[in-house]
């Protein structure tokens, strides 16, 4: 259905666009996200808020609210891409929604129990009628998986080029005239390949803020996170500041599970 309807959401005629968006929202409310998948809509819904017509934007907001009933917090990354005023209005509308799980209003005929008509009289007589589809409704009303709905984000490419240099610093080997044992110890500590935490705790704190904002996404793109996790560990080993340690403790679990 989305293949046919989504292109019409961006028609040059605003009446077609608004009606199409309204139709998608109604279909989602009626049949649920099982038959109206949210992921294709989620990729396009932000563009609907950019339409010049107020009616189209109004219908886009209604669609977003209906999607929130099924997906919940998984929509947050999309909401954050909207204009501040639009995001604020949506957040207010989300908070006003009832806490009950979303349930489809109708079922397709193929989803009806095959023996519903045959067992209905006996079920009503025994006091057990209407219980056959309870489990299916509960299963369908379950919350959306934010991980599956979200697009994977490549945070490694979004880190600033000097991020690692600001978080850690490389020590340079310097000549020494002390004893042999002392020289070996100093050389080991100041070897160019040994990383030490930056002495500027405010700078480290700012860079951990950058990382934390990037990690604030439901799904990370698979990649080589070894250097990143080693850097986070280095901060925890060489930092005494509570602010930096608090940021490190929030970043580490997300980065290490990839």
Domains and CATH numbers, the chain: 2-96 (1.25.10.10), 155-256 (no CATH)
Orientation of helix 14-31 relative to helix 38-48, angle to 10°: 150
CA 143 to chain centre: 14
Task: Write down the pLDDT at residue 194.
Answer: 45
Q: In terms of pTM, does the model score above 0.75?
A: no
**CA pair distance 201, 198, nearest whole angstrom:** 7
Reported as a single tens digit per residue, the pLDDT across 138-149 is: 444 445 666 677
Residue 55's CB is within 10 A of a number of other CB atoms, namely: 15
> Residue 7: beta bridge partners?
none
Orientation of helix 226-238 relative to helix 242-256, angle to 10°: 150
**CA pair distance 237, 231, nearest whole angstrom:** 10
Q: What torsion do the CA atoms of 203, 205, 207, 212 make, to the nearest 10 degrees? A: -170
**CA neighbor of 37 nearest in space, from 2, 61, 89:** 2
The tokens for 196 are: 């030490």
Task: Write down the pLDDT at residue 64.
Answer: 96
DSSP E strands in the chain: the ranges are 168-170, 195-197
Q: Is residue 233 scored above 60 in pLDDT?
A: yes
Reported as a single tens digit per residue, the pLDDT across 158-192 is: 988 888 888 776 433 344 444 555 454 444 444 44
The tokens for 42 are: 């989620």
Which DSSP string corresponds to 17-83?
A: HHHHHHHHHHHHHHH-TTTS-HHHHHHHHHHHTT-S-HHHHHHHHHHHHHHHHHHGGGGHHHHHTS-
Reported as a single tens digit per residue, the pLDDT across 85-132 is: 999 999 999 999 988 888 998 888 887 776 554 444 444 444 444 444
């Amino acid at each position: 259905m989305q293949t046919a309807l989504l292109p019409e959401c961006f028609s040059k005629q605003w009446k077609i666009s608004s009606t199409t968006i309204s139709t998608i929202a109604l279909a989602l409310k009626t049949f649920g996200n099982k038959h109206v998948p949210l992921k294709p809509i989620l990729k396009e819904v932000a563009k609907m808020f950019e339409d010049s017509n107020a009616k189209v934007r109004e219908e886009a907001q209604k669609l977003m609210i209906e999607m929130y009933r099924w997906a919940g917090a998984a929509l947050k990354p999309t909401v954050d891409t909207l204009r501040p005023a639009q995001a604020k209005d949506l957040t207010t509308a989300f908070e006003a929604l009832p806490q009950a799980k979303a349930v489809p209003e109708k079922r397709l005929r193929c989803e009806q129990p095959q023996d519903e008509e045959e067992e209905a009289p006996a079920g009503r007589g025994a006091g057990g009628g209407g219980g056959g589809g309870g489990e299916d409704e509960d299963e369908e009303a379950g919350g959306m998986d934010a991980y599956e709905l979200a697009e994977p984000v490549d945070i490694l490419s979004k880190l600033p080029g000097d991020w690692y240099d600001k978080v850690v610093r490389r020590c340079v080997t310097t000549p020494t005239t002390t004893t042999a044992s002392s020289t070996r110890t100093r050389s080991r500590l100041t070897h160019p390949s040994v990383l030490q935490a930056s002495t500027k705790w405010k700078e480290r704190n700012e860079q951990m803020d950058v990382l934390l904002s990037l990690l604030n996404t439901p799904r990370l793109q698979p990649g080589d996170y070894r250097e990143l996790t080693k850097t986070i560990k280095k901060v925890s080993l060489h930092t005494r500041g509570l602010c930096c340690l608090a940021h490190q403790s929030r970043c580490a679990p997300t980065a290490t599970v990839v």
